[in-house]
Amino acid sequence: MSAAPFSPSKRVSRIRISPSLAAAQRARELREAGRTIVDFTAGEPDFDTPQHVKDAAIAAIEAGETKYTPVNGTAALRDAIRERMLRSSGIRYEDSQITVGGGGKQLINLAFAATLDAGDEVIVPAPYWVSYPDMVLVNDGTPVPVQTRTEDGYRLTPEALRAAITPQTRWLVLNAPGNPTGAVYDRASLESLAVVLADFPHVWVLSDEIYDEILYTDEPYVSFAEAAPALRDRTVTVNGVSKAYAMTGWRLGYAVGDERLIAAINKLQSQSSSCPSSISQAAAAAALTGDQTFVAECSAAYRERRDRAVSALERVPGLRPSVPDGAFYLFVGCSGLIGKRTPSGDTIENDLDVTLYLLDTAGVAVIQGSAYGSEPFFRISFATGLDQIERGTAAIAAAVAKLS
């Protein structure tokens, strides 16, 4: 008797595989097949985790710290997060306002799971990180993309925010520095959004600040909760150690905010992963409390890579790279390539065609802007060496020159 065919739930069916992970996988497959590929898809630092952080993890293993921890993290890590937030934002969070998880991504997902019901809306400024809309959908909510403009620095304006809010709006997602644009909000911009939100007490703010240590402006980073103290009781700030400390594989993030929301997140986590890895928590505590020279050195390296990539691509006819104020991505306008013909006679009709052409002809893997809710663009990650940046941008220029 044959087994019944597998049928995925509606929850699974209404979301997609992460486009960035899919693009990275495609690049790996081509390399395994013998192709030389310059991979600009992965939002992952190419630097190794600092040695003192690895030493802390090894010491935790040798000390037998390999058991379950509290759902909201070890006391040592919570202390490290509290001191880090006090240092960076001037805000002191109590234990009941702090939680940790298997990466910032998990905590965003849990925040939505803890608050969204069918019909609830989440405002997501576009271009957006590819996972926000799908995490809303998987938790029965409705994502509401709101387009931002190049001339506004890809920042959400108060007017656009006010126009997007409805009685069903539950969340506004802010990501700064942003993926894929590197957009950063200054204090005045955040305060102007807070003025709008003061009129809508049913709307909460999820501030994803995972790239806050990778900044190229002369002004210090300003957290939304710092800029809008009157809204702190409906703001959750998400951060982690993946980007600043080159710890993507350690899967450790944290969130701070209203104790009622944090309790709900902890309740959900208690019935899912129970707690994050004890070893990763020891490593994260060392990262947050230890020598921060690594962070400054990486940011300086990313700035040099940014400048090199922008300089190369802005000379390519048909491409318009934005200059990010943070993170390690370029969002490249490619409207000048739409309608052109490839050497094989195919017409480039959209930004997906652009990315496929660059992959096939130049051996360069990028991600189409439509995956981020805006087109025609493509995203380049410059979290890779200068030699790769020079080789990849030169290959892009040569491939574009073949279009007619």
Domain boundary residue, one of 289, 322, 347: 289
Q: Do 130 and 232 reside in the same domain of the chain?
A: yes
Instruction: Return the CATH number at 78.
Output: 3.40.640.10
Q: Identify whether 4 is part of a domain.
A: no
Q: Per-residue confidence at 24, pLDDT binned at 50, 70, 90?
A: confident
Average pLDDT over residues 144-164: 97
* Confidence at residue 49, expressed as pLDDT on a 0 to 100 scale: 98
* Confidence at residue 1, expressed as pLDDT on a 0 to 100 scale: 54
Round to whole Å and give the CA distance between 264 and 259. Answer: 9
* Confidence at residue 7, expressed as pLDDT on a 0 to 100 scale: 84
Average pLDDT over residues 91-98: 97
Helix (H) or strand (E) holding 378: strand 377-381
Q: Do 277 and 377 reside in the same domain of the chain?
A: no
Q: Identify whether 285 is part of a domain.
A: yes
Q: Do 232 and 336 reside in the same domain of the chain?
A: no
Q: Do 271 and 136 reside in the same domain of the chain?
A: yes
* Confidence at residue 169, expressed as pLDDT on a 0 to 100 scale: 98
Q: Do 184 and 269 reside in the same domain of the chain?
A: yes
Question: Assign residue 182 a region: left if phi > 0, alpha if psi is -120 to 50, beta otherwise?
Answer: left
> Which residues, listed in sequence order, are joined to residue 309 by a DSSP beta bridge?
none
Residues sharing a CB contact under 8 Å with residue 159, sequence separation 6 or more, in sequence order: none
Q: Identify whether 304 is part of a domain.
A: yes
Q: Give the single-character DSSP code of 212.
A: T
Q: Do 64 and 185 reside in the same domain of the chain?
A: yes
Of 27 and 139, the one with more pLDDT: 139
Q: Do 199 and 66 reside in the same domain of the chain?
A: yes
Question: What does the mean pLDDT of the chain come to?
Answer: 95
Q: Do 261 and 350 reside in the same domain of the chain?
A: no
pLDDT digits (tens, 9 = 90+) for 192-230: 999 999 999 999 999 999 999 999 999 999 999 999 999
Q: Do 91 and 196 reside in the same domain of the chain?
A: yes
For residue 21, is pLDDT > 90? Answer: no
For residue 259, is pLDDT > 90? Answer: yes
Instruction: Return the CATH number at 395.
Output: 3.90.1150.10
Note the residue count of the chain: 404
Round to whole Å and give the CA distance between 30 and 361. Answer: 13
For the chain, the first-to-last Cα distance in angstroms comes to 59
Q: Do 195 and 220 reside in the same domain of the chain?
A: yes
Domain boundary residue, one of 272, 289, 306: 289
Domain boundary residue, one of 289, 322, 350: 289
Overall domain count for the chain: 2
Q: Do 55 and 141 reside in the same domain of the chain?
A: yes
Please tell me the least confidently modeled range out of 10-14, 102-106, 287-291: 10-14
The residue range of the domain holding 91 is 51-289
Q: Do 264 and 116 reside in the same domain of the chain?
A: yes
Round to whole Å and give the CA distance between 18 and 134. Answer: 9
For residue 20, is pLDDT > 70? Answer: no
For residue 5, is pLDDT > 90? Answer: no
| Parallel/antiparallel/unpaired status of strands 377-381 and 367-368 | antiparallel
For residue 349, is pLDDT > 80? Answer: yes
Round to whole Å and give the CA distance between 267 and 355. Answer: 42
Q: What single string gives the DSSP state of each residue in 293-351? A: HHHHHHHHHHHHHHHHHHHHHTTSTT-EE---SBTTEEEEE-GGGTT-B-TTS-B--SH
Q: Identify whether 3 is part of a domain.
A: no
Q: Identify whether 5 is part of a domain.
A: no
Q: Identify whether 247 is part of a domain.
A: yes
* Confidence at residue 13, expressed as pLDDT on a 0 to 100 scale: 84
Dihedral pair phi/psi, residue 207, rounded to 5°? -100, 105
Residues sharing a CB contact under 8 Å with residue 347, sequence separation 6 or more, in sequence order: 339, 340, 341, 353
